[in-house]
Amino acid sequence: MKNRSPQPFASQPFASQPFASMKGLGALLVLSVLPFTLSARAWAGDRAASPADPAPTVVELFTSQGCSSCPPADALLGDLARRPDVVALSFHVDYWDRLGWPDPHATAWGTDRQRAYAQRMTLSYVYTPQMVIDGRTDVAGSRPAQVMAALEASRNRAGDRVSLSLERRGDTLTVSLPQVPEGETEARLTLLSLIPRTDNAVSRGENAGRHLTHVNVVRSLRDLGPWDGRAETWEIPLSGPELASDTGLALLIQRRDSSGAPGPVLGAGIVE
């Protein structure tokens, strides 16, 4: 059993350089995809948990309260968060903040994470609302049919993912990891603290006058260290925002490239 002591919360969890074509706000290309016409609930659906459910798909939404195309994607993520086969995460980016409304949940490291994904996927720009599926592919969060197709493709890869278990007791999180074939896993574990639900009114910017709801807003990330695929149980003392009474927790097993940028997600879990 491993006991992982708390580490400082880094404001930038990995190095990320802006694209050469994105120098200055005027050159930053941000796509705001048109809102979809069908409701998010019609696509996400409701389903009951089953013992046969595969390891969950991780959906990371990059969003902003300053983006008028984002609220439908936020609603879709809310529906996906109710599914037992999905770990839904909301990262609020900060590059919209200078356009009329500073998003209270926006972080520079959330933007860095999105840019790192874009660089690894060889995308020429970042945009909102963007959903990254299992750290592998991206899709516009305002296109529910494409989102659901990406989820179905993820389910077809579920046999390759790691199933883990999480248990929170007071100020400790217990993570149980299975044995996987030697040489098939070389990844790092990341602990995220989440705001399960937040509601607030927007008074300026593209969403002026709207009341917005978000789920599983990521408020911190903490690197727990490497995992080599052996069966282990980790006892993780919680600290900082992880201890807040209204906080949820998620854990990702994720590959990283040589720069430390996030890669494919191998496994995930979430607890409230």
Residue 142 has a pLDDT of: 93
pLDDT of residue 239: 94
The pLDDT assigned to 171 comes to 94
Cis check for the bond before 71: say yes or no (omega within 30 of 0).
no
Does the structural domain 19-31+55-271 have CATH classification 2.60.40.2310?
no
Q: In the chain, where are the structural domains located?
A: 19-31+55-271
CA atoms within 13 A on the CB side of 246: 9
Model-level pTM?
0.83
Residues 114 and 53: their CA atoms lie apart, in Å, by 29
204-222 b/e (C-beta count within 10 Å ≥ 16 → b): ebbbeeeebebbbbbbbbb
- How far apart CA 246 and CA 197 sit, in angstroms, is 9
Query: Cβ neighbours of residue 62 under 8 Å, at least 6 residues apart?
Result: 91, 92, 93, 110, 113, 114, 126, 128, 129, 130, 131, 132
Q: Residues, the chain, total?
A: 272
pLDDT of residue 259: 81
Instruction: Render each residue's pLDDT in the chain as its tens digit; 272 residues.
Output: 555 544 433 433 333 333 333 333 333 344 444 333 333 333 333 333 333 456 899 999 999 999 999 999 999 999 999 999 999 999 999 999 999 899 999 999 999 999 999 999 999 999 999 999 999 999 999 999 999 999 999 988 877 889 999 999 999 999 999 998 766 667 999 999 999 999 999 999 999 999 999 999 999 999 999 998 999 999 999 999 999 888 999 999 999 988 888 999 999 999 98
| Residues 96, 29 contacting (CB under 8 angstroms) | no
- Taking each helix axis as running N to C, give the angle between helix 70-81 and helix 144-156, from 0 to 180 degrees, rounded to the nearest 10: 40
pLDDT at 157 (0 to 100): 84
Residues 57 and 91: beta-carbon distance below 8 Å: no
pLDDT of amino acid 260: 82
pLDDT of residue 189: 96
